[in-house]
Structure 1
Amino acid sequence: MSNKTYNELLIETSELIGEATQADEAVFEAGEADRNTLLPLLLELRVRYTVLLSRLDSVYDQLLQPQKRMIVKRLLESCLGRLIEIKHDLVELRVSDHTFDDDEALVKLQVTPHEAEPCIPQFFIRERAEEIESRRQFVLDTLRKLGYEPPKPQPLVLTEQQAVIIIQSHERARQGRLRGQFMKEIRLLKEKGRDQKGEMSAAAATAIQKVWRGFLARRLTKRRKHEEQLLIGMQLPPYSESESKKKAEEVKDYRRTLQMEREQEYQTALVTIEEQLRAQHGMKINEQIGDELRRWIREYYDRTGRFPEMPSEESGGSRAMYSRTGTGMDSEISKSSPVSSKESKRSKESKDKKNNKTEENNKNKEEPEDLTVYKCAPSAFLKDMVGANEEYEDIWKFKDDIDNPHERYYKDMIEREKMVKIEQEIRNIVDEMMRNELELLQAAFDRDRAQKGKKSKKQQKKVRRGGKKNKKKKEKDLTPDRTTESLFEELVANGIIRPYPLVNIDDFVGEKCYIGSATTEDGVEALPCLGDVRQLVKEYCILPLGSEFVRNHAPLVRSVLITGAAASGKKMLVHAICTEVGAMLFDLTPANIVGKYPGKSGLIMLIHLVMKVSRLLQPSVIWMDDAEKPFVKKIPKTDKTDPKRLKKDLVKIIKGICPEDRVLFIGTTRAPWDAEQKLLFQCYQKIIPIPRADYGSISLLWRTRLHKAGALNPRLEISCLSRVSDSYTMGTLLAALDAVLTTKRRLQLRVRALTAAEVAVKLSYWEPVYAEQEAAADSWWYKTPMEKRRQKIMQRLEELQAEVENGG
């Protein structure tokens, strides 16, 4: 695709952003609204921002012009943050973490359910590729020094009997081919000996023609049927990368290299142009600003008989003085002084705290009455998105790029930006000089009139108070003299930081629940599918961690608990989260920290190292497998891992994660009902249960995996195999498939097609998820805070509806 294509796509996307932001602002202007009317609006906005996210991601990934890419990135991050905010509003509206797509919104926007799932921006990894690879290589090198070797693929090893059988079968096949060739030669010799003048009868020729023409017709019909099924998507094409896809990827990679070259040119131009402008205009600007300030101070003194107070740099400096006029100058400057601004801030904070307390009390009092009304939380991204889109429309939308076909930087834009920066820096320097001169003049003026200044002591007292507060916020650093690399190496050597397999989140195969919105409208709770779990992991874990700007301003999720049966994909999701954002993985599983950092002091050091290094190497994921063990009431005697070692400190670790820290605590467990529920729910903010695999997800798994392995054929009954696979986890199904498709069986696929019976027989060796385990998981889920809250609200709504009906 060319530069023109991506520029046109960006123009269309800008128009769609304008439509989405208008609809979004209308929701905020409406204020409190009925939940039933607000829900479809938010669902439509969610789909709109999802489409915009994928468009902006493709444009940002391939656009060459470096100055234009800066605005596109602002739009991309704002769109991403707003999407997360809408998700949290929908969770509060539905009182459920799973927000199913609205059918009307999908039809209106002409979007498929697959397109309505948020994509993961490519810049999460691509802009940090070198850093991620260097960290991963450092971990592997450190482990190699300690004697650890990464697992290698095992070669095919045959027993003596299997080797003899393979050799015998190949020898018999060779002998058969030789015998067939020998018999063919004998037949040809016999035919040559016949009378060449003999002619076939008309009946024999007709019969041969009939059979041959029928064969050709059947083959042509079969081919047409296959092509038609490929066209309408009933059959999958052979699993092989087409030449067109390869060429498209090559073009994208080439544009990415050009993009890096343009960025390097732009960065060097920023430095060189700034140096040139400083050399040409620096002295002139310094003299102009100094003359203006001295003339203004002289006029002020002649008019008022005293010297002005120079505003601080934070309040605007000398520019703030020029924006104010004559008599009101002194009062406005005094209002903008640092002391008054601090006092006003404190008074505002105290008022805000009082207002928040009163609002919370009012909410608690009015909660049963206002269940049908909801007000969206204020957005931290909408204003920035609107401003970035307006800036794009003003500067870039109608800009003619004929003179810049290679998408290089614009020098005039850099000069304007740098002139503003240089002028501001010089103004700050001149302002500081003027402050010193004014202090000397004021001191001489006071000395002449024998006056003393009394404001300095008050300012010092307030500065000291601020200093005391800052001292309380500081945490004690137990390793002040050690470098990040030494701490990193220590944690790797102790197995706390560990390598993980590279897995994409889309490898977690599963269909979405397509009837969720319709069933919830009818008052029936919809059961989520594996595709909904994948989307939830993206929204809570991957998307906020990938961008620092989004993490700082989006609703904060500190910890997530992933529950599910054995081999349901919990560890795979943890590895996918780390892979998609390029995070470091810290393993605090009780079995992993046995014998490491012993004693109370050792535990304090372990927590300190994990929190410090996770902040230094962010984004980071702190993972604990068997998350229920620290909160188990009775520890089995056979368990010697001391699981309760971190029981008291887990809440402190999780609460210590700030919005500025791109750190996420993830727990995985098979049996969360074994733990003390109160302590478990105090630790984990969000709970993501992995449900039993549904028919659609299992069918999709078999179809994709068999197609990738080249074992998919029309005779293989996918539907029957999916029914047989019910109540098995996805990991179990993949293990059974790997056990069936050995190297020998893959070689035989051309001769003997794979059947569903082979997989079903092999699957019978594994244990399914029994009904008792599902019942225990369901009963535990109804005790979670989110589900309890939903049940209470549903009960209150039913009571209100009954009162209305009885009153009517």
Structure 2
Amino acid sequence: MSNKTYNDLICDTSELIVEATQADEAVFEAGSAERSTFEPLLSDLRIRYTVLLSRLDAVYDQLLQPQKRLIVKRLLEACLGRLLEIKHDLVELHLSDLTYDDDEVLVKLGVTPHEAEPCVPQYFVREREEEIEKKRYFITDTLRKLGYEPPKPRSLVLTEQQAVIIIQSHERARQGRLRGQFMKEIRLLKEKGRDQKGEMSASAATAIQRVWRGFIARRDTKRRKHEEQLLIGMKLAPYSESKAIKKTEEVKELRRKVQKQYEQEYQDALERIEEQLRNQHGVKINERIGDELRRWISEYFERTGKFPEFPSEDGGGSRAMFSRQGTGMDSDLSKSSPVSSKDSKKSKESKDKKNNKVEDNKNKDEAEDLKSFKCSTSAFLKDIVSANEEYEDIWKFREEDIKNEEKCDKDMIEREKMIKIEQEIRNIVDDMMRSELELLQAALDRDRAHKGKKAKKPQKKVRRGGKKSKKKKEKDLTPDRTTESLFEELVTNGIIRPFPLVKIDDFIGEKSFVASDCKSQGQEPLPCLGDIRQLVKEFCILPLGSEHVRTNSPLVRSVLISGPSGSGKKMLVQAICSETGATLFDLTPGNLVGKYPGKSGLIMLIHLVMKVSRLLQPSVLWMNDAEKPFVKKIPKTDKTDPKRLKKDLVKIIKGICPEDRVLFVGTSRTPWEAEQKLLFQCYSKVIQIPRADYGSISLMWRTYLHKAGALSPKLELSCLSRVSDSYTIGTLLAALDTVLTTKRRLQLRVRAFTAQEVAVQLSSFEPVYVEHDMAAESWWSKTPMEKRKQRVMQRLLELEQENEERAAAGK
């Protein structure tokens, strides 16, 4: 697409941002209200910001103008942070991590459920491609030196011996086919004999014509039916890379290269123009500011007979000194209290009235408190408004030169650099004037011969906002070692591990389309795999990808992902690392056996993990079998010492600060075997992968069979999905790989793939038994969020019953 396309897109997006921020501010103006009133408003805002996120991501990825891209990035990060804030408000509103979209809101905004799912911004990885590639190469190179060879993709390059074997096998097959065809012809000649006349009767010719015309008609009908089904979407086209999509990706990659070139030109212009401006105007600005300050000080001395107190740099410096009025009105006003005695009496009377309320009103107030809700304050809304206003003022209605519209604007750079240079020179002149004022004050005191009064010492710079928070710094056990050496040590010991690149969208699953109807009927909707994918994005990927968003958004330190074997827990961890370019630290108990032994070794291990994870952030600390450190009784056959990190896990997780882009992820198949109190002390969020529903299984079969070329009209996809109901997605894919061998793929052209082949193979795999589902459901009801929700609902029911009983007794 062209430059005009993306410029028009950002203009349209700016108008949508205005609408979203107005709706957002209206929600805050509403203050505290009933929960039912906030539910559609927050759902509407979440979808609006999701659409804005996808639009801004597309613009930022392809826009060329470097200065405009800075504003777009501010908007993108601010919208992303606001989206996460709304998600946490929805969690508090519903008292559940699973929040579903309202169908009425989707219809009103014209958004599909797929579009309502947040996308992962591309700049998370694209702006750090070189760093991520170096990190992956360092890991693989270190492991290769230790003798570990990572699995390589299949290469088309063959050795001479392999090529000879393949040619021989194909030649034997060709000769066999020719020999069989020759023998078939001989057999037919012997059976039928030859027609001595060499002429065919008229009836035979008519029969052949009839058969041929019927064949032609059936073939044309089949072709037209196939084209019609492709047109209306009843059938998928053969899987192949679209030329249009391929061409689009090539154009995008070309624009990214031009984008890097323009960005480099912009950075060079910043340095060059700043140096030119310093050489041209530095001395003049210095003299002007110095003359202004000296003239102002002399006028002040003539008017008051004393020298002014010069503010510190944090206090505003000379700019703050110029703005002083010297009237003393502010101090007088600040001394007087704005609350009168009458107001205080009224407040006391109101307190007395509240204390004297009857029990009925107390119950009503408690019920209202439980039913009411108030949104938390936003740290990103002002950024969205200010960045959008800045875009509208500078870029939206600007008529630019066609030739240079996407290159950096030098006039804008000069204005920004002049402000920066003037401020830096002003700070230097302020320091010089402070020393001059000290000398002048000392000379004045000597002239006046004030023996009892001494010159005032210059005030020390005091940090605004009070004292610095005294945070205990951890003792550095490796102060003399470089990051590369620590990194290499952890890779050598298998703590830092390589992982395959996986996209979060490869976790295939449909969203729950009946959730809104279930909620309207007062039922609790069941989540689907698509809802779990969205949860992982909102709690793990989106906060971890941006430093600004991570620092200011609600903090999620740790996440527990539970589910049966083959449900995709490990894949989700790999997707988190792939989408954010994170470093993976494996703290699984089985992986720590024999590494860093003893108490001192454990202290060193924790120190290395926390130090390197902060240095190489974003980082993911992963523990498989997360329930094992908290199991009451360890089996005698388990030699991994799983309780080694039991006491330090809470310390590790609580040591993760908002500034640290570090996330602790635990995966577990049987979390109910652990001590629940200790388990939930470690993990603030719990994501349970449910049994795959019919829609998700059907989508999975359609996607993978289409890629394999095995999707045909003879395949009963609905029947296959029903048969696969009690199996996890991983188990189904393993069965498919077992059935679709290379030989079977070659036979698909002749013999269509059937559901029976997979069904027979599934009989040899273990399904998810009902006992496991019941145990998982029972455990889920005991999680902190579910317990809190149950307590609130129970209390509301009790209050309603008490009010009804009192009303009946009063009558």
Q: Does TM, scored on the shorter chain, surpass 0.5?
A: yes
Shift of 1:328: 4.9
Matches within 5 A, 1:151-166: 151-152=151-152
Query: Which position in structure 2 is the counterpart of 1:291?
Result: 291
**Structure 2 CA distance for partners of 1:152 and 1:276, relative to 1, 3 Å:** closer
Deviations 1:145-184 (A, max 9, x none): 11111124689999xxx99999987654232334567799
Matches within 5 A, 1:682-701: 682-701=681-700
Distance in structure 1 (CA, Å) of the matches to 2:316 and 2:463: 22
Distance in structure 1 (CA, Å) of the matches to 2:290 and 2:621: 55
Deviations 1:584-611 (A, max 9, x none): 0001111111111111111111101100
2:486 is matched by which residue type in structure 1? Answer: L
Query: Which position in structure 1 is the counterpart of 2:742?
Result: 743
Query: Which position in structure 2 is the counterpart of 1:82?
Result: 82
Shift of 1:452: 4.4
Distance in structure 2 (CA, Å) of the matches to 1:291 and 1:193: 125
**Structure 2 CA distance for partners of 1:396 and 1:673, relative to 1, 3 Å:** same
1:536 is matched by which residue type in structure 2? Answer: L
**Structure 2 CA distance for partners of 1:458 and 1:325, relative to 1, 3 Å:** closer
| 8 Å Cα contact 2:445/2:455 also seen in 1 | no
Query: Which position in structure 1 is the counterpart of 2:494?
Result: 495
Distance in structure 2 (CA, Å) of the matches to 1:185 and 1:245: 54
* Matched residue SS, 1:473: coil
Distance in structure 2 (CA, Å) of the matches to 1:515 and 1:443: 82
| 8 Å Cα contact 2:314/2:463 also seen in 1 | no
Deviations 1:689-722 (A, max 9, x none): 0101111111111110111111111101111111
**Structure 2 CA distance for partners of 1:698 and 1:269, relative to 1, 3 Å:** same
Distance in structure 2 (CA, Å) of the matches to 1:767 and 1:689: 20
2:501 is matched by which residue type in structure 1? Answer: L
Distance in structure 1 (CA, Å) of the matches to 2:457 and 2:293: 25
Query: Which position in structure 2 is the counterpart of 1:594?
Result: 593
* Matched residue SS, 1:591: helix
Task: Tell me the number of residue pairs that the alignment of Structure 1 and Structure 2 aligns.
Answer: 769
**Structure 2 CA distance for partners of 1:748 and 1:324, relative to 1, 3 Å:** same
1:175 aligns with 2:179: yes
Distance in structure 2 (CA, Å) of the matches to 1:534 and 1:635: 33
| 8 Å Cα contact 2:314/2:461 also seen in 1 | no
Distance in structure 2 (CA, Å) of the matches to 1:185 and 1:270: 89
Query: Which position in structure 2 is the counterpart of 1:790?
Result: 789
Shift of 1:189: 13
| 8 Å Cα contact 2:509/2:695 also seen in 1 | yes
Distance in structure 2 (CA, Å) of the matches to 1:188 and 1:282: 108
Query: Which position in structure 1 is the counterpart of 2:583?
Result: 584
Deviations 1:460-500 (A, max 9, x none): 9999x958x64x52221111111111111111111110101
2:550 is matched by which residue type in structure 1? Answer: R
Show structure 1 runs of 5+ residues with no match: 336-362
Show structure 2 runs of 5+ residues with no match: 335-361
* Matched residue SS, 2:116: coil
1:23 is matched by which residue type in structure 2? Answer: A
Deviations 1:580-635 (A, max 9, x none): 00000001111111111111111111101100000000000000111111111111
Matches within 5 A, 1:258-273: 258-273=258-273
Shift of 1:446: 2.9
Query: Which position in structure 2 is the counterpart of 1:480?
Result: 479
Deviations 1:256-314 (A, max 9, x none): 00000000000000000111111111111111000000000111111111111111212
Deviations 1:47-80 (A, max 9, x none): 1110110000000000000000000000000000
Distance in structure 2 (CA, Å) of the matches to 1:317 and 1:736: 73
Shift of 1:457: 11
1:636 is matched by which residue type in structure 2? Answer: P
Distance in structure 1 (CA, Å) of the matches to 2:419 and 2:185: 89
* Matched residue SS, 2:411: helix
Distance in structure 2 (CA, Å) of the matches to 1:294 and 1:239: 79
**Structure 2 CA distance for partners of 1:513 and 1:330, relative to 1, 3 Å:** closer
1:257 is matched by which residue type in structure 2? Answer: K
Distance in structure 1 (CA, Å) of the matches to 2:461 and 2:58: 54
Matches within 5 A, 1:374-773: 374-405=373-404, 407-448=406-447, 449-453=450-454, 470=470, 473-773=472-772
Distance in structure 2 (CA, Å) of the matches to 1:117 and 1:672: 28
**Structure 2 CA distance for partners of 1:364 and 1:50, relative to 1, 3 Å:** farther
Deviations 1:420-473 (A, max 9, x none): 00111111110111111111112222334235459769969999x958x64x52
Shift of 1:797: 2.7
Shift of 1:227: 1.7
Query: Which position in structure 1 is the counterpart of 2:346?
Result: none
2:134 is matched by which residue type in structure 1? Answer: S
| 8 Å Cα contact 1:75/1:389 also seen in 2 | yes
Deviations 1:387-444 (A, max 9, x none): 0001101110011123445510111000000010011111111011111111111222
* Matched residue SS, 2:524: coil
Deviations 1:706-747 (A, max 9, x none): 111111111011111111111111110010000111111111
**Structure 2 CA distance for partners of 1:392 and 1:165, relative to 1, 3 Å:** closer
| 8 Å Cα contact 1:309/1:330 also seen in 2 | no
* Matched residue SS, 2:369: coil
1:435 is matched by which residue type in structure 2? Answer: R
Shift of 1:194: 3.2
**Structure 2 CA distance for partners of 1:211 and 1:541, relative to 1, 3 Å:** same
1:305 is matched by which residue type in structure 2? Answer: G
Distance in structure 2 (CA, Å) of the matches to 1:480 and 1:756: 62
Moved more, 401-410 or 479-488: 401-410
1:50 is matched by which residue type in structure 2? Answer: T
Query: Which position in structure 2 is the counterpart of 1:30?
Result: 30
| 8 Å Cα contact 1:321/1:329 also seen in 2 | no
| 8 Å Cα contact 1:494/1:596 also seen in 2 | yes
Distance in structure 1 (CA, Å) of the matches to 2:323 and 2:56: 40
Query: Which position in structure 1 is the counterpart of 2:2?
Result: 2
Distance in structure 2 (CA, Å) of the matches to 1:711 and 1:736: 14
1:146 aligns with 2:150: no
Query: Which position in structure 2 is the counterpart of 1:347?
Result: none
2:451 is matched by which residue type in structure 1? Answer: A
Query: Which position in structure 2 is the counterpart of 1:350?
Result: none
Query: TM-score scaled to structure 1, two decimals?
Result: 0.90
Distance in structure 2 (CA, Å) of the matches to 1:801 and 1:216: 76
Shift of 1:229: 1.6
Shift of 1:798: 2.8
* Matched residue SS, 1:527: coil
* Matched residue SS, 2:686: strand
| 8 Å Cα contact 1:53/1:80 also seen in 2 | yes
| 8 Å Cα contact 1:308/1:330 also seen in 2 | no
Moved more, 319-328 or 559-568: 319-328
* Matched residue SS, 1:621: strand
Query: Which position in structure 1 is the counterpart of 2:281?
Result: 281
Distance in structure 1 (CA, Å) of the matches to 2:621 and 2:232: 45
**Structure 2 CA distance for partners of 1:739 and 1:310, relative to 1, 3 Å:** same
Shift of 1:329: 11
1:712 is matched by which residue type in structure 2? Answer: L
2:252 is matched by which residue type in structure 1? Answer: K
Shift of 1:186: 11
| 8 Å Cα contact 2:509/2:529 also seen in 1 | yes
Query: Which position in structure 2 is the counterpart of 1:103?
Result: 103
* Matched residue SS, 1:635: coil
| 8 Å Cα contact 2:100/2:516 also seen in 1 | yes
Distance in structure 2 (CA, Å) of the matches to 1:284 and 1:364: 73
Shift of 1:520: 1.8
Backbone CA RMSD of aligned residues: 3.0
2:132 is matched by which residue type in structure 1? Answer: I
**Structure 2 CA distance for partners of 1:212 and 1:461, relative to 1, 3 Å:** closer
Distance in structure 1 (CA, Å) of the matches to 2:87 and 2:462: 46
Distance in structure 1 (CA, Å) of the matches to 2:646 and 2:425: 56
